[in-house]
Amino acid sequence: MANRLATSTSPYLQQHRDNPVDWYEWGEDAFAEARRRDVPLLISVGYAACHWCHVMAHESFEDQATALLMNRGFVSVKVDREERPDVDAVYMSATQAMTGQGGWPMTVFATPDGEPFFCGTYYPPRPVGGMPSFPQLLQAIGQAWTDQRHDVEHNATALRQALGSATPAGAGVPAPLAHEALEARTAAALDALTTQYDARSGGFGGAPKFPPSMVLEWLLRRNARTGDARALAMAEGTLEAMARGGMADQLGGGFARYSVDATWTVPHFEKMLDDNAELLRVYAHWWRATGSELARRVVEGSAGWLLREMRTPEGGFAASLDADTQGVEGLTYAWTPQDLVDVLGPEDGAWAADLFGVTPAGTFEHGTSVLELRADPGPDERARFDDVRTRLLAARDRRPQPGRDDKVVAAWNGLAIAGLADAGALLDRPEWVDAATAAAELLWSLHVREGESGPRLTRTSRDGVAGRSPGVLADYADVAEGYLALFSATGDPVWFERAGALLGTVLAHFRDDAGSFWDTADDETDAVLARLQRPQEIADGPSPSGPSATAGALLTYAMLSGSAEHREAAEHALDRPLAVSGRFPRATGWPLALAEAVLDGPREVAVVGQPDDPATHALVAAARAGLAPGAVVAVGTGAPPAPRTGGDAEAAARTAAGGGEDEHPVPLLRDRPLREGRPTAYVCRGFVCDLPVTEPEALRRSLGARTG
């Protein structure tokens, strides 16, 4: 018989619907039941693509005896960390404070009011290597709650106070960083990062290796602005190593979550939307900077994978694909030499085994290998290569497939919108931009509701039904970022306007008193979490932190709108992460990338001309090819204002006030006439513009676009 999770909108919670555990979702019902029974809360946090979450579920949560212990002694709460990042962040802070480390599954025991007193991660069904079994832990916690209640509550109080003291105290809004200070901080961060670079295998540090997307974006921008060869070498070395290793899906496109080794050979097979959205964008920018054919192939493969495997019927993008297939990690993706022969025949099978590094001993488990592409086939073998990949992918599609978490996460869809819009505009792939537009429309129609002070976001949806969790800072910022990228790709000002509305909500409800931003809104912070710690994550993870993402969206909006308030808020938000970037450059990649944009201006490019004029297209392509860090491109018609007719007093009043209907809704495009009737480009910094140009090559030169 299904438990309460059967009605959840989270696929991860739905995976536990048939557990014998009497699960609750996070919420007041669980806390009230714990208070009524006077028992602790057992809070289990995970996500659908997490391998060890599945392991613990199978070993413990599906076991009748273990479930009996949980049901008798606790009120058990299941949390999808992707649906409730606020809950995850607070209890992860507690877990790290108590144990010195963290991860998923996360296992937290708390008082009925939600105050944690014991935290951990995975626990086995039997004692292993000095680690107690999960049943032993349940019995020990239950006994302590009964016999040592005072000590338990004292520990909970002490941990709550420690978490509260870790929340940054307001010290006033800092002054915007002077350019000299920004130069010094970015230079120090580059020096520090250089010492961590793995020159042999690419990437930074040792195993496991995660794709450092934001750091790579910073390095590309750094090279574009300063010409620093170290930055480009580290970026290219890492981008190529990732693209050629087993973490990249050599058949279907996209990337797995991370590499378990230092050589990018064997991945942890889950495929996450946020990772792939970020990687799509940085590989597109690598192609823009260098013309790398490998970069272009990765972009096309990643975008194709997103549209083929991750789109939902409503037009959004699903959150992830599992690492496991039928309980076996990597089952869908691993090959033996005989597998290749069975699909391709002896000759092509042997050729493919050599090309993709499939050996009799195997590079993965049980004599299987993960496909790699350490070198491209020769030019005369390109057709054979494409044919082999097509046949292998078709055969792989006939295998059992990993599960898909098909909830739509607002923040991650915002990143996907930005990646597809940016890459689609750069590579002239309108179908990618169309997919981005469909996802953007879904978010606005389903995830956005109108609040008293502006639009409010819901974090997730599934099957066209909005979830119950309010959007966090990253949702607002990443969706705004996606909308601004979509405006740049399409020229449709509605996306600029919607981004501005979301950022207005951010400025009204997420600001702290030290110039940064909280991860939760002042009127939507969970009451239980508020007693512990209002979350505020400064460090980047797989995607930019909430404050960093907000700084990026605010900066882009400021460039398009001319708003000093948005520009100042962006620069204030960069102060804290950039202050530690010299020590932790890998955790501050996006703030460093934004710093390069600030140091460059950033550039604002307005192109005006009729949409169907080839000369307009040539100027727009030249503008998008520019390497100026963080530059924005706005496209309009440059048409003169339509003549006014009388009778509309309200419109006349707006015109008299300087805000008439004939003004473009995007200020960067206002008062941009065509020059001698020809499509024209204006390149500006801080709304101070160079002479307008009508020749694409002149525009390319002014924006540092590559030649040849």
Q: How far apart are CA 661 and CA 526, in angstroms?
A: 42
Query: Could you tell me the pLDDT band of residue 248, with boundaries at 50, 70 and 90?
Result: very high
pLDDT for the residue 162: 78
Contact predicate 692/682, CB 8 Å: yes
Q: How far apart are CA 378 and CA 252, in angstroms?
A: 21
pLDDT for the residue 191: 97
Query: Could you tell me the pLDDT band of residue 463, with boundaries at 50, 70 and 90?
Result: very high
Q: How far apart are CA 356 and CA 292, in angstroms?
A: 21
Query: What Cα–Cα distance (Å) separates residue 542 from each residue in 210, 236, 276, 279, 313?
Result: 8, 19, 10, 10, 26
> Which of 31-35, 98-102, 144-148, 397-401 bottoms out in mean pLDDT, i.e. has the lowest?
98-102
Q: What is the pLDDT of residues 33-67, one digit of tens each?
A: 999 999 999 999 999 888 889 899 999 999 999 99
Mean pLDDT, to the nearest integer, of 584-599?
Answer: 96
Three-state secondary structure along 491-509? CCHHHHHHHHHHHHHHHHH
pLDDT over 70, % of the chain: 94
- DSSP per residue, 405-471: E--EEHHHHHHHHHHHHHHHHHTT-HHHHHHHHHHHHHIIIIIEEEETTEEEEBSEEETTEE-SSBP
> Is 644's pLDDT higher than 90?
no
What stretches of 31-185 adopt beta strand conformation (E)? 41-46, 75-80, 106-110, 116-120
If one counts every other C-beta atom within 10 angstroms of the C-beta of residue 307, the result is: 16
Residue 239 in tokens: 């981008």
Q: What is the pLDDT of residues 144-175, one digit of tens each?
A: 999 999 988 888 888 788 777 665 545 566 66
Q: How far apart are CA 413 and CA 471, in angstroms?
A: 13
In the block, residue with structure tokens 């039904």? 465
Question: Quick one: residue 4, left, alpha or beta (phi over 0 = left, psi -120 to 50 = alpha)?
Answer: alpha
Mean pLDDT, to the nearest integer, of 353-373?
Answer: 97
Backbone angles phi, psi at 683, to 5 degrees: -110, 125
Closest CA to 551 of 466, 481, 627, 471: 481
∠ CA 463-464-468, nearest 5°, is 95
> Is 331's pLDDT higher than 80?
yes
Q: How far apart are CA 266 and CA 68, in angstroms?
A: 38
pLDDT for the residue 642: 43
Q: How far apart are CA 111 and CA 153, in angstroms?
A: 8
Between these two residues, 291 and 97, which has the higher pLDDT value? 291
Q: What is the pLDDT of residues 562-574, one digit of tens each?
A: 999 999 999 999 9
Mean pLDDT, to the nearest integer, of 385-395?
Answer: 97
Mean pLDDT, to the nearest integer, of 92-103?
Answer: 88
The whole model's pTM is what? 0.90
Q: How many CA atoms lie within 13 A of 699 on its CB side?
A: 29
Terminal alpha carbon distance of the chain: 66
Mean pLDDT, to the nearest integer, of 578-593?
Answer: 96
The answer to whether the peptide bond before residue 400 is cis (omega within 30 degrees of 0) is no
pLDDT for the residue 638: 81
Contact predicate 24/76, CB 8 Å: yes
pLDDT for the residue 652: 34
